[in-house]
Amino acid sequence: MEKWEQQLKNDVNTSLPTELEQRISKTLQQLPRKKRRSKFIYGLSAAALALIVTTSLPFISPTIAETMKNLPVVGSAFEFVGNIGMKKGADDGLATSLGEQIEFDGHLVTFTETLYDGGEIHLGYIIEMIDPTQPPNFLGNFFELFINGKPAGSYGMGGNEEEVKEGMYIGAISIRLREDVPDSFLLGLRPNESRSWFVQLPVEKQGDQKSFLVNQKRETNELAIVYDKVTFFPTSTELTLRLIMDEEAFFNDHFMLLDYLVTDDQGRVLQPFSGGGGGNGPENGKVTHTFEQYFEPLDTVPSSITIRPYLGDFKDTAPNIIRKKWINDELTLSQGEMGEITFLDVIKSDDVFTLSYEVSGIDAYRQANAFWLEDGDGNRYHSLKPALRVDGTNHQYQSSFETTLPIEELYITTIKMNAPNFLEELEIIIDLDR
């Protein structure tokens, strides 16, 4: 026990002065992007811990304080690296501003805000590198979670992180809990392996939600899907469902690549955010798992949504690439069985290209993200963010790319894609006009 106590006495949970909290609670949208960290996702069942001790640093590093003071910030971490749901929540004033700070592998991590509307819990943070020779690996950690000091049950996590200037990273973490939590609580967080720090972050439920019980079943010989509930949160649309499959299909991973194409009553394909869940082992030859799937939020509840399950089709063969030069005129590229994409306009501002385009086909969102830019030598330039649907349209999008490439040397490249393998017997139209 003495070893555990000594480890936990090194945990850190400090707060920034008020003036710094005010600075980091503003958006970081004007900061330049340098490097994007890969997303991570995992699920855990947290084990109980015998002791939790927190201490506070007597002061904040003057170097860190000065750096934070000079940041050209004007918003929140969510607005810089978050998905469109997190950005909407921040814009709507649903985030809780923080300033808690911990030391991680010789770097300072400042938690800037939490956001919780009843769906996923989101955390924003800034990493200030004290030792620039040791890049942070914050997202590479498995974290233990606590709710008001008690270990959380099963949960899943995912995140996104970007380098915004030399020595500084900004990130957001999303957490899916498999248990009910209070509307207001302290979320404890610490690394599972080293236990070198511990922080407790206040989380408060904000915003309204609207749920619709569905309780409808669709089935085939091998798989049944029970659509339990659809919930519209300010930051996401949540689909709750159960998969009931044959034991053999489960152990053969037959439905491991199962995914869902969700459209609203206007035919708009909802951007998928994340998903996860689980369950127990086989019982009477069947396996039942419960899942939550998250998609983009909607400003108003539609009269209906359509859910089309399909199996992913990943092949090792090289894709069929379609590449054409932009000549300041409307340009249409085939995307194979999936459909086509038509580029309407290209605008260059400083070192950023913004492309406006329209998608026609089966999966508009997937198609909207399946292209990149190239120069004459075939060097690739990928979008800074996922495609953003143009307000007031169903299938028009915009994407931005950072490059010094002259517009007269711009090539637009996409790939031909196979149509999804839809499981038509499992499809459902859910009536919400009630």
Per-residue pLDDT reduced to its tens digit, 352-369: 999 999 999 999 999 999
Q: CA of 343: how far to CAs of 326, 333, 396, in Å? A: 9, 8, 10
What count of other Cβ atoms lies within 10 Å of the Cβ of residue 366?
A: 21
Cα separation, 227 vs 429, in Å, equals 11
The predicted structure's pLDDT at residue 316 = 67
How much of the chain is in helix, strand and coil states, percent to nearest 5? Answer: 15, 50, 40
425 in the Ramachandran plot: left (φ > 0), alpha (ψ -120 to 50) or beta? alpha
Residues 387-432 have pLDDT tens digits of: 999 999 999 999 999 998 899 999 999 999 999 999 999 999 999 9
Question: Which range has highest mean pLDDT (38-47, 160-169, 271-280, 423-432)?
Answer: 423-432
Cα separation, 221 vs 247, in Å, equals 12
| pLDDT range class, residue 165, cuts 50, 70, 90 | confident
The predicted structure's pLDDT at residue 75 = 55
The predicted structure's pLDDT at residue 313 = 74
The predicted structure's pLDDT at residue 384 = 86
Statement: residue 185 has pLDDT above 70:
yes
The predicted structure's pLDDT at residue 55 = 24
Which residue type, as a one-letter code, is found at position 199?
Answer: V
The predicted structure's pLDDT at residue 344 = 97
Beta-carbon contacts of residue 370 (< 8 Å; ≥ 6 apart): 335, 338, 341, 414, 415, 417
Length of the chain in terms of residues written = 434
Residues 14-27 have pLDDT tens digits of: 333 334 333 333 32
pLDDT, mean of residues 282-299: 92
> Residue 229: beta bridge partners?
213, 240
The better pLDDT of the pair 322, 51 is held by 322
Statement: residue 343 has pLDDT above 90:
yes
Pair type for strands 107-116 and 96-97: antiparallel
Beta-carbon contacts of residue 321 (< 8 Å; ≥ 6 apart): 413, 414, 415
The predicted structure's pLDDT at residue 279 = 82
Tokens 């260059």 identify what position? 348
The predicted structure's pLDDT at residue 20 = 37
Average pLDDT over the chain reads: 82
The better pLDDT of the pair 117, 281 is held by 117
Cα separation, 209 vs 328, in Å, equals 45
With CA atoms as reference, report the closest residue to 309 among 263, 366, 364. Answer: 263
- 8 Å CB contact between 297 and 234: yes
Q: What would the two tokens of residue 310 be?
A: 């399909």
Among the ranges given (58-67, 104-113, 131-140, 275-284), the one the predictor scored with the smallest mean pLDDT:
58-67
The better pLDDT of the pair 58, 248 is held by 248
Residues 299-335 have pLDDT tens digits of: 999 999 999 999 987 666 788 999 999 999 999 999 9
The predicted structure's pLDDT at residue 212 = 96
In sequence order, what E strands does 117-205 have?
Answer: 121-129, 143-147, 150-151, 154-165, 168-177, 184-191, 199-204
Residues 59-90 have pLDDT tens digits of: 334 443 444 444 444 357 888 888 999 999 99
Cα separation, 199 vs 265, in Å, equals 43
The predicted structure's pLDDT at residue 51 = 23
Model pTM above 0.85: no
Cα separation, 337 vs 367, in Å, equals 11
Max CA separation in the chain (angstroms): 72
Percent of the chain with pLDDT over 70: 82
The predicted structure's pLDDT at residue 179 = 84
pLDDT, mean of residues 334-354: 95
Which residue type, as a one-letter code, is found at position 48?
Answer: A
Return the half-sphere exposure (C-beta side, CA atoms, 13 A cut-off) of residue 370: 27
121-154 burial code (b ≥16 CB/10 A, e <16):
bbbbbbbbbeeeeebbebbebebbbbbeeeebee
Residues 237-266 have pLDDT tens digits of: 999 999 999 888 888 888 888 999 999 999
